[in-house]
Structure 1
Amino acid sequence: MPPEPIRVLLADDEPEYRATVRTLLEVTAGIEVVAEAGTGRAACDLAARHRLDVAVLDVRMPDLDGIAATRRITVLPEAPRVLVLTTFDLDAAVYETLRAGASGFLLKDVPPPRLVDGIRTVAAGEALLAPAVTRRLIADFLRAPTRSLDGVTAREREVLTLITRGLSNAEIEEALHLSRHTVKTHIGHLRAKLSTRDRAQLVIAGYEAGLADDRPAP
């Protein structure tokens, strides 16, 4: 049997943009648009009623913005991943949606294949955060470290530092000479200790802890 399609909620207050994206996704194998919303509140209502894998949200919507919508959607039972769409990459609202639990963001004018890849990436549980853009974004809106790493071991700190820089699990294994199982165990401990839902939130936590320029111990 073919794999289940990625079930998507599309939320944007511009009907023409929604129609364009829906048309793109409807002809893309493995992705199904199951609901559309023109406001943040409607997006939250639909997310609560449908079984979804990814909610694609415009960061700026009427009656409930993308930040508040992300907060509500990511605490739902079996919550979908949230992919935020924005007009500007250096946007304070984007930073706040990432802190609220979004798995990544894309500019609204990205080429169609990039949007499709982004949906697939966050559906797989990965973070969609380009390190260079994330560094500039957080540098603009985070003036000093704000997160404590109390309870995090030295090795976990090294793993978090490399996650913050955008390294994959395989790259972390190689850099720290650890097994795949050990890296996954450290990441699980970090998520629990830092109360983070996924890899994107770990990246934000690392930046907020001032780890972006840390050098792991040899």
Structure 2
Amino acid sequence: MVPVNQVLIVEDLPDVSDWLHEQVSTILQPQQIQRASNLAEAVTCIEQHRHDLALIDLGLPDGSGVTLVRPFKERNPGARCIITTIFDDAEHLFGSLRAGADGYLLKDDTESAFANQLSGILDGRPPLSASIARRLLEQFHPLEGEQEVSLTRREREMLTLIAKGLSIRHAAEKLGISHHTAAGYMKGVYEKLQVNTRAEATLKAIHLGLVNPV
């Protein structure tokens, strides 16, 4: 996986920002960590610098951090954008995922659990707090009488690799197929699973047992 060299932390509480900085420094060992305490500062950082990873709080003084997800992803293709928050309700969770967030970590998890999830970014594990993963699994349990989704072998292979953090191009190389063919498989996966983002596809992969959320 691509090393995490440039990190952006968006957090308004100084002590929490310091704690996140310490966690990131220890676990990911990036070359540089930038910090912003509100939306305005974060927008400036996003516009002026490139990043491999962003940890974004939702409850900022001048608005919701979720509004930063799309501009960050557009400015930094392939980078991870992870929400770090205390909100564990479905509205904040699914709103963040629909905006394009690649993960959702709860700051009130135990320090060891949070650190484990953060370190998993380098290993390609889905960056989801365990309680959030369980909540999402509940949402994806099929209703009584609902037909299970059937994926082909190649579609399952692609979904597994994408959920582990590989790009479509890298997944194609690993499977020994063309990028065009791989993109076609993923289009089929998205249509069958009725998802629109990598994060939602990852959650479906967890539900199907292709990826371990822990």
TM bracket, shorter-chain basis: 0.5 to 0.7
2:197 corresponds to 1:203? no
Corresponding letter in the other structure for 2:83 = V
Aligned residues: 188
Any idea what SS the aligned residue of 2:152 has?
helix
1:128-186 Cα shifts (integer Å, max 9, x gaps)? 23687335247569xx9xxxxxxx995279629x75xxx869xxxxxxxxxx6179978
Q: Give the Cα–Cα distance (whole angstroms) in 2 for the partners of residues 27 and 122 of structure 1.
A: 14
Q: What residue ranges of structure 1 are gaps of 5+ in the alignment?
A: 145-151, 170-179, 214-218
1:189–1:92: structure 2 CA closer, same or farther, 3 Å change rule?
Answer: same
Which residue of structure 2 aligns with residue 70 of structure 1? 69
1:82-125 Cα shifts (integer Å, max 9, x gaps)? 11112133341121111211111111023444434433433565
- The partner residue of 1:189 within 158, 171, 184 is 184
1:197–1:92: structure 2 CA closer, same or farther, 3 Å change rule?
Answer: closer
- Percent identity for Structure 1 against Structure 2: 22
Any idea what SS the aligned residue of 1:56 has?
strand
Any idea what SS the aligned residue of 2:75 has?
coil
Corresponding letter in the other structure for 1:38 = S
- The partner residue of 1:159 within 156, 160, 165 is 156
CA RMSD in angstroms, aligned pairs only: 4.4
1:159–1:35: structure 2 CA closer, same or farther, 3 Å change rule?
Answer: same
1:11-48 Cα shifts (integer Å, max 9, x gaps)? 11211210222234334462345210111332232123
